[in-house]
Amino acid sequence: NHLKIAIKEILLSTIQQLSFFQRFSDRFINFFSPYVEINFSEYEDYRINHAFDPIETYLGAKATDKAKHLRASQVRESKGLVLKRDETKVRDEYEGIRVWWETETDSIGFKTLKLTFHRRSRDIVTESYIKYVIKEGKSIEAKNKKMKLFTNNPSSHWGSSKTSLWRYIDFEHPANFETLAMDPKKKEQILNDLAAFSNGKDYYKKIGKAWKRGYLLYGPPGTGKSTMIAAMANLLNYSIYDIELTAIQTNSELKKLLTATSNKSIIVFEDIDCSLDLTGKRKKKERNLMIWREDGEQGNEENKSSVTLSGLLNFIDGIWSACGQERIIVFTTNHLAKLDPALIRRGRMDMHIELSYCTFEAFKILAKNYLDIDSHPLFKTIESLMKDTTIAPADVAENLMKKNREIDVDGSLNDLVQSLERRKKVQRAQLDEHKKSSYKIVKAFRMLF
C-alpha cells in the first residue's frame, strides 16, 4: 500500500510538472512563434457575429478553381451555378502577404474561422486585409442573394415573432430596364437616380438624411408601373415588400410591418388612390375620391380600421429612419389628381414618374423585344396611327405576342394596325359624343339666361 501511495504521488507530481512544463513551453513557443492567430466565431456571447457570414462567403468563393472538392448550387434560376469550395483550409494572398484560413466546427456544430498570418504582416492584416475580406464577402452575398417577394399576413394571424408578419416567395421576374418600353431619356434619368441612390451611403450620411428614396409611379392601367418595380428590384438586387393595406388595422400595425422589413428592399404601396376608406375595406379599382383620415386612431368608434395618411407620412418622413436604412418606397396610382397633395409633395416622394400610353419610340422597343425587328414597312402606318389614338403598352404587347407558338411579324403588325384603327374609331366617336353633350349644355345655359 505504501508503495502504491508513493507511486501515485510520484505520478501526480510528474503530471503536474509536465503540465507546468507544457504551459511554459506553450508560452515559450508562442513568445517566439512568428505566427499570429485571429478567431472569428459564428456567435460571440450568444449574439451573431456579423463578420462571420461575409468572411465565410469570401472564403467559399475563393480559389474554387484550385480546390478539389466543390459544392454547386443555383440560387436563382436566371443566374448560373454558384460554386463553393468544400474544404476546410484556404490559403490567401493579399498585397504580397500570405495568410491561412481554417474552419473549425465544435461539438454543437458552431463554426469558427481561424486566420493565421506572420507577425510582420500584422498591420496589413488588421488594418486592411480583414476589411477587404468582409467587403468582398458582402458584395458576393449581394450578387448571389435570393430576391424575395414579401406580402403581409393579416394582422389577426401575427404571432410573437417578426417572421409571422410577412410571407414570401422567391422573386423571379424577368423584367428589366432594357425591355421596358418608355421614353429613353426618362429611362436614363431613372437609371441614374437609382444608381446614385444605391451608391449613396456616404452621401446620405454626410447630409444627415435617412438612406431612402421615394418614387411615385403614375399612369393608366397596363403602362408598366408594376413592371418597372420588378425591373428596379432586378437592377439593384433588392427584395420587394408589397404592402396590402386592407390586411392591417391600425397605424401601429403598419409601423410594426415596416420596421420588420430588411435593408436593400423596395416597399410598395400599389393603387394608393383606391386605398382604405373609413371601414378599412379596400375599394379596389373604384375610381371614387379617396378618403383618408388625418386624425389618427381616435376617430369614429364603429370603424376600427384606421390606417391613416398621417401614419403613413410619419414613416416616409423618417420617424423610422433609425431602424430603416437603404430602402426604396414606391407608390403607384392610376389617378394622380386623386391623391392627397400631402402624400406626394416633393421631398416625400423624391421622383414622380409618369408611365403613359405607348409612343412610337416605346413601340419600337416592344417590336424589338417581341418580334426582333428594327424596321418594317408597316412602321410608318403605326407611327401615324399612334399619333391619333391612345393604346397602353400592355395592349401593344398583346398584339405582338407569339401566335401558335411562332413569331409572325407581318401577322402581329397587321393585328396591331387593326387594333389601332378600331381604337381610333371608338375614341373619335367618344370625342364627338363628348363635344355634342357639351354643346347641348352650353345651348341649354344660353336658353336659360
Ligand X SMILES: Nc1ncnc2c1ncn2[C@@H]1O[C@H](COP(=O)(O)OP(=O)(O)OP(=O)(O)O)[C@@H](O)[C@H]1O
Binder of residue 180, out of Mg ion, ligand X, none (CB less than 5 to 8 A by kind): ligand X
Query: CA 269 to CA 329: how far, in whole Å?
Result: 8
* Interaction partner, residue 234 (Mg ion, ligand X, none; CB < 5-8 Å by kind): none
Output the smallest distance, CB 355 to ligand X, in A: 6
Closest CB 59 distance from ligand X, rounded Å: 41
393 binds, among ligand X, Mg ion, none (CB under 5 to 8 A by kind): ligand X
Q: Is 239 in the site for Mg ion (CB under 5 A)?
A: no
To the nearest 10°, the Cα dihedral for 292, 294, 300, 305?
Answer: 60
* DSSP result, 47-87: EE-TTHHHHHHHHHHTTTTT-S-EEEE-SSTTS-PEEEE--
Q: How far is the CB of 398 from ligand X (least distance, A)?
A: 8
Q: Where are the alpha helices (DSSP H) in 199-250?
A: 201-207, 225-236
CA atoms within 13 A on the CB side of 435: 6
Point out the residue whose Cβ comes nearest to ligand X: 224
Pick between residue 312 and residue 365 the one whose CB is nearest to ligand X.
365
Q: What angle do CA 82, 236, 73 make, to 5 degrees?
A: 15
Residue nearest to Mg ion (CB): 226
Please say which residue, 57 or 399, places its beta carbon nearer to ligand X. Answer: 399
Which grid coordinates belong to 272?
A: 394608393
Q: Whole-number minimum distance, CB 292 to ligand X, in Å? A: 20
User: What is the nearest approach in angstroms of ligand X to the Cβ of residue 345?
Assistant: 23
Pair 210, 325: CB distance under 8 Å: yes
For ligand X, the closer of residues 57 and 227 by Cβ is 227
226 binds Mg ion (CB under 5 A): yes
Contact partner at residue 222 from Mg ion, ligand X, none, CB < 5 to 8 Å by partner kind: ligand X
Burial class of residue 218 (count of CB atoms within 10 Å of its CB; 0-12, 13-18, 19+): buried
Interface with Mg ion by CB under 5 A: which range of 19-27, 63-71, 222-230, 276-284? 222-230
Nearer to Mg ion, 137 or 222 (CB): 222
Binds 250: which of ligand X, Mg ion, none (CB < 5-8 Å by kind): none
Q: Nearest approach, Cβ of 253 to ligand X (angstroms)? A: 25
C-alpha 265/C-alpha 380 separation (Å) is 42
Residue nearer to ligand X on the CB measure, 319 or 344: 344
Residue with cell 507530481: 13
Contacts of 427 (CB under 8 A, 6+ apart): 389, 390
Residue 334 near which of ligand X, Mg ion, none (CB within 5-8 Å, type-dependent): ligand X
Please, which residue, 230 or 312, has the CB nearer to Mg ion? 230
Q: Give the Cβ contact number of residue 204 at 10 Å.
A: 17
**Half-sphere CA count of 45, side-chain side, radius 13 A:** 0
Asked whether 51 and 111 are in contact (CB, 8 A), the reply is no
Q: How far is the CB of 231 from ligand X (least distance, A)?
A: 9
Q: Which does 309 bind (CB under 5 to 8 A by kind): ligand X, Mg ion, none?
A: none
- The single-letter code of the amino acid at 266 is I
Q: Are 256 and 242 in contact (CB under 8 A)?
A: no
Closest by CA position to 84, among listed 56, 47, 44: 56
Q: How far is the CB of 130 from ligand X (least distance, A)?
A: 44
Helix residue ranges, H only, 260-359: 309-316, 341-344
The torsion defined by the Cα of 72, 76, 77 and 82, in degrees rounded to 10, comes to: -20
Which residues of the chain form contacts with ligand X (CB under 6 A)? Answer: 180-182, 221-227, 334, 355, 393-394, 397
* Nearest distance in Å: CB 273, ligand X: 10
Name which of 309 and 396 has its Cβ closer to ligand X: 396
Nearer to ligand X, 99 or 229 (CB): 229
CB of 397 vs Mg ion, minimal distance in Å: 14
C-alpha cell at position 161: 415573432
Cell of 235: 437592377
Nearest CB to ligand X, comparing residues 306 and 332: 332
Query: Taking CB within 5 to 8 Å according to partner kind, which of Mg ion, ligand X, none is near residue 324?
Result: none
Residue 60 binds which of ligand X, Mg ion, none (CB < 5-8 A, kind-dependent): none
The smaller minimum CB distance to ligand X, of residues 248 and 396, is found at: 396
Enumerate binding residues for Mg ion (CB under 5 A). Answer: 225-226
